[in-house]
Structure 1
Amino acid sequence: MKILLIGSGGREHALAWAISASPLCERLFIAPGNPGTAQCGENVAVDIADHAAVVAFCHLQAIGLVVVGPEGPLVAGIADDLRAAGIKVFGPSKAAAQLEGSKGFTKELCAQFNIPTAAFGRFTSADTAKAYAARQGAPIVVKADGLAAGKGVVMAETLDQANEAIDMMFSGGLGSAGAEVVIEEWMIGEEASFFAICDGTNALALASAQDHKRVGDGDTGPNTGGMGAYSPAPVMTPAMEERVMAEIIRPTLVGMAKRGMPFQGVLFAGLMITAEGPKLIEYNVRFGDPECEVLMPRLKSDIVPALLAACDGVLGSFDLRWAEEAALTVVLAAKGYPGKPETGSVIRGVEKADALDDVLVFHAGTKLREGELVAHGGRVLNVVGLGKSVREAQAKAYQAVDLIDWPEGFCRRDIGWQAVKREQA
């Protein structure tokens, strides 16, 4: 069948790499794609914000399946428009995508269906938000309700930081995303990323991962979209995975169905593993980025049948096989990220890095300019290493990173430190 993949980042390059390997994939289109996805299929200049244009392209090319990578089009309802046109699509409806599009929506769902999460409050004015923060005390977490490209969460260690974040959001610092604010209890524990493909009723657990949100080594500095990740996450034991499915994922599917908005697609639960057990930090309604870049290389099964089973509501008897080896990705970002990144600089040596054994390089914010690869975004490359342990995967990834000649870029040098520390213990 012909498949259309929507998106242009590192997640989409990883998905394109996996989808293009499927015997079911006759031809793969990526809209708009990047120089990396062009190695897996055909990039097409279709405006993904123009849903009618996407539908027209699908009809023109007889597309059998659309896979939506990023959250923006899902929250905007692209899956609804495709389904209305009779086109099969992997991704939730606009109503179900509220799980990511509105943090307040998700918190209320958790409260209604007894899904463990942090204590919280929802606010539409700075004064009431500040009063709540003052009553709760610091440290505390301030979140923009809407989509903010991974930059809408402030971990406030003092009330002054919390008040500053509240003022920034309500004054339009994050656009419409900050029109409402959620303030949460600061949870103590270890974070993990957990993924499940869902068909509206059934959920199929995928491999676990752990990402690194802070921009600097030692988990310092502001939050980002993610500076690196590894899989599997040692904190997610089989027993913990089953608790997550039983206490968080399945109740969410039940709750969404009861609300008349069954969830089909991939459910990405950001978790805090606390002393009491797993608690939901937030939901995303698509594959994580950079987590997808470590999940796809570990997936031994063909991904396309799983995507189709989710679309068709037949995941109940489905299973996937995963490699035992670990995968670790290091994000190379442009200087200035997560603020205003410096773009346009030339990147050399990617081919050398990609040629190493047990290494993959996925493109994110890149473009070609007169035949040269240049930076075109904040997070620019994902360098993935594979190994028998996280430590071995880490060594492979950084060996490849050091072959890339890009003075205007930077990366964290400690991705995977928690797992490596466990392995050395």
Structure 2
Amino acid sequence: MNVLIIGSGGREHAMAWKAAQSPKVDKLFAAPGSDGIAAVAECVPIDVMDFEQLAAFAKAHRIDLTLVGPEQPLVSGIGDFFEKEGLKIFGPSAAAAQIEGSKSFAKALMEKYNIPTAHYRTFTDYQAAGNYLHEVGAPIVLKADGLAAGKGVVVAPTMEAAGQGLKTLMKDKKFAGAGARVVIEEYLEGEEFSLMALVHGGLVVPLAIAQDHKRAFEEDKGPNTGGMGAYSPVLQIAQTVVAEAVRTIVEPAAAGLVQEGRPFTGVLYAGLMLTEKGPKVIEFNCRFGDPETQVVLPRLESDLIAAIQDVMKGIRPQLRWTDRTAVGTVLASRGYPGSYKKGEKLGRLDALSENALLFHAGTRKSGTDWLTNGGRVLLVTRLGDSLRAARDAVNRDLENIQTDAVFFRKDIGHRALEAEAKKA
């Protein structure tokens, strides 16, 4: 088979790394890819939103399967475009991708199909939204309705923070059109986890769960980011809870999309909160999570490409997982998620131990040097016999390549270790 992966970040690097291990794959391409991804795939300089060029490339190079990393092309209809051109793509139609493209659509779907989630109201009028905030009080969560690169969420512990968040989203238009409509929802408390599944219509094949760390700084402080690290498995979430989440959330969502005439094919991601009343949905995404993919795929012992092919034929694959723990930590540009410099020199990446998995997110190569080229620069994943062993190994690796231009959290997985300490 010839396989094409669309995207250029750390998630796409992990997808390409895993796809390259499949005995089914003869030739692997990435568009546009990156200097890091070039180690496992041939990179072609085509933008993720240039559907015509991507489809022409897929035809010319006899691509048998295309996988899409980022949400923007999916929400904009790359799935429909490829299908129309007779090309196989593991990604939803634009109509199905609305589960991520519009928070209000996702909430309405959940309401209609009795999928547990936070109570909410949707607003397009700034004044009306402000009045509602004063009615319900804090803590409260505000979300830009459209795509905002994982950053259009304000978790407001106080009324002052809620008012400022609403102004940022609706008046200051920080996320442009994404904030023209805002969803205001109840603040959920509990243990967060990410559940991704390979989906084709009503067929749902869950992957191992992970826990992401969204806040920029240690002890979950600082602004929300696209994710500073993740780990899998999440031992403080019982398998019975995961099974309940699949049964009450992911399967009804897939079935609901079929009912609505917009069947989903691809990776359905559920960001979940384990509340006192069971798992509830925080958000849905229409693709692999980032950075969760970088810790889930290294634990998958099965062939990812074979599994996706099975799912697309309506066959349920039996997935095999290692019992070992994967910890992945992001090295980010100083200043992220705010403003930061690009082109800063990194330490020697060849100083990493041979067991380290390195996924490039925002880097570029200049001669023999690696330079920063984004907010999240790279992620290092290690597998270990325990969470602490894996995390210690990652921290040692990152300390070897850290410079003043970048930073990382040393406490990825701290919630699991705290839960473990309480049990002891």
Query: Per the shorter chain, which TM-score range?
Result: over 0.9
> For residue 109 of structure 1, what is the aligned residue in structure 2?
109
Matches within 5 A, 1:18-29: 18-29=18-29
Give 3-state SS (helix, strand or coil) of 1:59's partner: helix
> For residue 403 of structure 1, what is the aligned residue in structure 2?
400
Give 3-state SS (helix, strand or coil) of 1:402's partner: helix
1:240-293 Cα deviation digits (max 9, x unpaired): 111001110111111101100011111110000001100000001111100000
2:236 and 2:419 in contact (8 A); partners too: no
Deviation (angstroms), 1:356: 3.4
Structure 1 vs Structure 2 CA RMSD: 1.0
> For residue 65 of structure 1, what is the aligned residue in structure 2?
65
Structure 2 unaligned blocks of 5 or more = none
> For residue 156 of structure 2, what is the aligned residue in structure 1?
156
Q: Quick one: distance in 1 between partners of 2:14 and 2:50?
A: 24
Matches within 5 A, 1:222-371: 222-312=223-313, 314-315=314-315, 317-353=316-352, 355-357=353-355, 359-371=356-368
Give 3-state SS (helix, strand or coil) of 2:403's partner: coil
Q: Quick one: distance in 1 between partners of 2:238 and 2:304?
A: 23
> For residue 373 of structure 1, what is the aligned residue in structure 2?
370
Give the partner amino acid of 1:364. Answer: A
Deviation (angstroms), 1:310: 2.8
1:123-148 Cα deviation digits (max 9, x unpaired): 00111111111111101001000110
1:381-416 Cα deviation digits (max 9, x unpaired): 101111011111111111111111422000111111
Deviates more, 1:41-50 or 1:178-187: 41-50
> For residue 206 of structure 1, what is the aligned residue in structure 2?
207
**TM-score by structure 1 length?**
0.97
Deviates more, 1:403-412 or 1:143-152: 403-412
Give 3-state SS (helix, strand or coil) of 1:35's partner: coil
Give 3-state SS (helix, strand or coil) of 2:150's partner: coil
> For residue 76 of structure 1, what is the aligned residue in structure 2?
76
**TM-score by structure 2 length?**
0.98
Deviation (angstroms), 1:348: 2.0
Q: Quick one: distance in 2 between partners of 1:183 and 1:240?
A: 26
2:311 and 2:317 in contact (8 A); partners too: no
Structure 1 unaligned blocks of 5 or more = none
> For residue 129 of structure 2, what is the aligned residue in structure 1?
129
Give 3-state SS (helix, strand or coil) of 1:286's partner: coil
Deviates more, 1:403-412 or 1:139-148: 403-412
1:13 and 1:363 in contact (8 A); partners too: yes
> For residue 220 of structure 1, what is the aligned residue in structure 2?
221
Displaced runs of 4 or more, over 4 A: none
Matches within 5 A, 1:383-422: 383-422=380-419
Give the partner amino acid of 1:327. Answer: A
Give the partner amino acid of 2:332. Answer: A
1:5-28 Cα deviation digits (max 9, x unpaired): 000100011111000010011000
1:12-49 Cα deviation digits (max 9, x unpaired): 11111000010011000001111221010101101221
Q: Is residue 43 of structure 2 the alignment partner of residue 43 of structure 1?
A: yes
Give the partner amino acid of 1:422. Answer: A
Q: Quick one: distance in 2 between partners of 1:216 and 1:287?
A: 24
Give 3-state SS (helix, strand or coil) of 1:138's partner: coil
